[in-house]
Amino acid sequence: MPRLAGAACGSLRWTGPELQLDAFLISTGVVALAEVGDKTQLLAFLLAAKFRKPVPIILGILVATLLNHGLAGALGTWITALFSPEVLRWVLGLSFIAMAVWILIPDEIDADDDKLVQFGVFGTTLIAFFLAEMGDKTQIATIALAAQYGSFLWVVAGTTLGMMIANVPAVYLGERIAHRMPVRLVHWIAAAIFAILGVAVLFGIGERFGF
């Protein structure tokens, strides 16, 4: 049965299975949407076209995401111990709103991301994805979500699943879907979700759902 605990914003909210499910589903949804057209998805298209070996590419994406988002989730969970509930509420609320704006800015892939072929398909994907994800939208989102929910496992599981939902089709279908995705529309939807999360945190709305 769920129990009540102090939320990041200093009020009461539910914890237990309901909050874990909320953390998992929201993390999955917002990262899957944010990843569409993101630099790492562009990298997935590039690697798929270059190597044409989907399985090692997908495994490289999975391992890189688990490592990167694991670090991000740990940092987000640690941040909750650094600030008072009131300060954390403002930091998280403004961070989610900033993410909403950032998602609307188009991404470009660096040319250097395609220069690691000496490590093989899996190694190239692992290194390139890990480096590309450093400081990227979805990594910052993972930090903020982990800090908000205080649920390392469920947030990282959700953000990792979101990355795979966006990138597995990119690897298998490549250019056949690259120019057919409504990237702008998806980004507006993701931005709206982040903006809602930010407002909800700042004003203490939706505490029943963990934000």
C-alpha–C-alpha distance, residues 77 and 170, integer Å: 31
Please report whether residue 1 resides in a domain.
no
Winning range, highest mean pLDDT, from 74-78, 79-83, 172-176:
74-78
Please report whether residue 159 resides in a domain.
yes
Report pLDDT for 176. Answer: 63
C-alpha–C-alpha distance, residues 7 and 211, integer Å: 8
pLDDT of 123 strictly over 80: yes
Query: Which of 41-50, 65-74, 156-165, 185-194 is least confident?
Result: 185-194
DSSP class of residue 13 equals E
CA 66 to chain centre: 11
Please report whether residue 107 resides in a domain.
yes
Cα dihedral across residues 193, 197, 203, 205: positive or negative: positive
Which pairs from 111-115 meet CB under 8 Å and 24+ separation? 113/43, 113/46, 114/46, 114/50
Please report whether residue 174 resides in a domain.
yes
Contact 121, 23 (CB under 8 A): no
pLDDT of 90 strictly over 50: yes
Contact 17, 208 (CB under 8 A): no
Helix (H, G, I), strand (E, B), or coil: what is residue 158?
Answer: helix
Please report whether residue 139 resides in a domain.
yes
Dihedrals phi, psi of 116, to nearest 5 degrees: -120, 25
pLDDT of 55 strictly over 60: yes
* Domain interval for residue 92: 21-203
pLDDT of 120 strictly over 90: no
Please report whether residue 185 resides in a domain.
yes
pLDDT of 22 strictly over 70: yes
Helix (H, G, I), strand (E, B), or coil: what is residue 36?
Answer: coil
Tokens for 19?
């909050």
User: pLDDT band at 180, cuts 50/70/90?
Assistant: low
Contact 65, 129 (CB under 8 A): yes
Please report whether residue 5 resides in a domain.
no
The rounded mean pLDDT for the chain is 80
Q: How far apart are the first and last CA of the chain?
A: 20
Please report whether residue 13 resides in a domain.
no
Cα separations in angstroms, 108 against 112, 136, 171: 12, 12, 18
Query: What value does the mean pLDDT take over residues 116-126?
Result: 81
Contact 65, 134 (CB under 8 A): no
Total of domains in the chain: 1
Is 196 exposed, middle or buried, given 0-12, 13-18 or 19+ CB atoms closer than 10 A?
middle
Query: What value does the mean pLDDT take over residues 104-118?
Result: 60
Tokens for 2?
């769920």
